Chain A
Amino acid sequence: MGPLGVYIIKRSIQIIITLLVIMTLIYVLLEALPAKPYMLLMQSPGLTPQQKEAMIAAMGYDKTPWERYWIYMRNMFTFNFGDSFMTGRPVRTILFGGYINGQYEYGRVWNTIILFGLATVLSYLVGYFLGAIIAWKRGSLIDSGTVVSGLVFYNMPSFWLGLILIWIFAFHLGWFPLTSNEWMKFGYFSIEYIKALILPLTVLLLISLAGTTLLMRTSMLDVMGEEYIVTAKAKGLPEKVVLYKHASRNALLPLITSFVIALAFTVAGGVITEQVFTYPGMGQLYIQALGQLDLPIVYATLYLITLLVLLGNFIADILYGFLDPRVRIQ
């Protein structure tokens, strides 16, 4: 088995251990909550003691924490997420989509992935071109203008930018819907969905473009200092060719690794962005469930996020190994 195989195995073990540790930590944290999920439901004064006991048992609190821990770990690894405490709906359907009471519910995970995946892809795409251009025109007005505005957007709270965009475009101009639920009647491939996506996408783009553009720019500047660029220019190649064929392609590498890692974090989504635009994604579900102490959803969401982030990092590592021969040699 080659060095790559060994590496994969080592990393896999690492990932599993990390996953176990994180899940245990999450469990401990949530167990430390003094408020228990059944407390909210017990407020209803007409309940008999038997009903209360049944409720507690349904939530699993008649068992000891240790027992619950094993059940929890087992469930998470078998993707058996159970039913929501609040609505009784199966968590897996809420997350991944499916039919509830005859109506199709769109999976929250996919919603988040679409929005943030698109945002990531677009951000890197635009960042690639924009970064290349402004690095080429270094020192010009475009360069400093882009850098400055990128800095400003990077330091802007995303929710505020979202509120302002809502105010201007959704309210005053009416171009986009104010709440983000209408499209569910029409599905993913509809104008309504696109309209619902545009504002959150814009916010995400504006804020992350700063990072990707600057990254590309820095990488380009590094590359442009290399000797083969000087050679290319000396050869008399037109600027466009030097820029696109030689410089920017080689500057791509850090961008790609960054991109893959960013994709891995897509799943975490932007809890804040989803909240501001009431976009029905995982982040918004997470906040809601946390507030209602709907633990099955909380556990499932955190587990998925952790799992996918770890996997994403893993893939990024391997990809990086493939793409950059220098790493493999080490």
Chain B
Amino acid sequence: MVEIALLILAVAFFARRGRGKAAAPGGLPDLLSGAESAGIITAAQREQLLTYAGTHASASARMGGAAWLGVFAGLFVVAGVALLIARNWEALGPAVRVGAYLVVLAATGIAAIRARASALALSVPLELLWFFLPLLGIGLYGQTFQLSGDSIAPFLVWLALTVPVAWLSLRPAVATIHTFAMVAVLFAGNFVVEPASALWGGGMVAPPSMLAITEHGTAPAVWLLSIALLASIVVQSLRLLPRAHRHHCVGVVMTWLFAILVAPTPFRIHHEGWIVVAALALVTLWIVVLLALDTSVEERATSLCVWLGLIYSLTFTWHMDRAPTGAMTTGGRTLVLAAVIGAVVGALALPDTRLSPRRSWAHAARALLVAPLLVALLYLVGEVGPVWNAALVMNGLLLTIAVGSMWHGSIVHEPAQVNLGVVVLVALLITRFLDLFGSMLRSGIGFIIAGLALAALSWALERTRRRLIAGTPEVAS
């Protein structure tokens, strides 16, 4: 009973807080309501403006501290309801549970619809509560009636039932969570094997999920459903997510393709060299697509970090003591080759302006974008020598990228590029320093010398960075 009282108090607090905020002047919904009352706009126009603001206006897309508090309030209420049900489980009969659930769902849905134009602190928690209630309902029914079914099916049903909530919401909060949930369900359904099932081998209790992609004999329906879900993620991302995050879906597609290649699927590749080429081809293609679409810095940052991280990790292949080996599937090889061709052709076809305002720099950037992928082909030679050479070249490429990024950043007066170059350069220099001289760090003197060398490097780089950022920008040609 204490929990119920606390829950009611919490709901009442947030409802009151939300009502108070809604009544306060200043918010777009209130402004439009006032305009409608004054006869400036019609009710239909008010509705259209709210819809437009929900999907386009950056101010609506960005949520402040109060809004995030509201988000967590909604999550807490959902968690509280779940805990209450669990605590009083045995005392409630099946009919009571079903009836109570339907009442709660109806009340929450109606409240969320009516409050959708209210302040964020009220409308967002209600929308989130409504959004999660169908999932809670499926779990409730499953536990009440002892339903043992597919582990992914309930999530797919939940996502399907809540599509309208995501698409018709005035704000991107629900759509963002819905899209993220779709991604999680796709990857969990396709690739996650239940640990217990894996341990038991053939003697597992739970069958594979309806989305499971396996090495031998995956039903066509599984592929169709997976691709349909992937397509839904792309469409929903492009239409509903905040403007600066709409193209993260490109990364999702590329990650899914890579997972298809390394997970036990009909496209699986075991060969380490081909895995390296596949990873570099897909991440290069990811960058090319984002550049072609002229996307935001936030969207490109992820792909750039993955690309740089991959090149950085390949510098360690200097330590490999044998040539890459492993089996290949025909499907996997075809997919990798298609990705390589797509990445190279795409990079060559990119307009110069997408890479740099200066033509010569654009050519250099294009060459640097494709170079790691071409160098990675050395991992397919079948001898260890070319692997070491590739690792050396990767070091050189990373150094060139770092210096080029700093230099270009100073020319176009872009501090982010200068900072990125400094970070890459520091990481590369420290790594190679420890790599080459790490074995000498066995005495106190060795540590002191190493520390002084790193301090000198830090001082020099920071000085260079400040000078580059403070430099006068040149007019783009």
Check if A and B associate: no
Where the two chains meet, the residues of B that have a C-beta atom closer than 8 Å to any C-beta of A are none
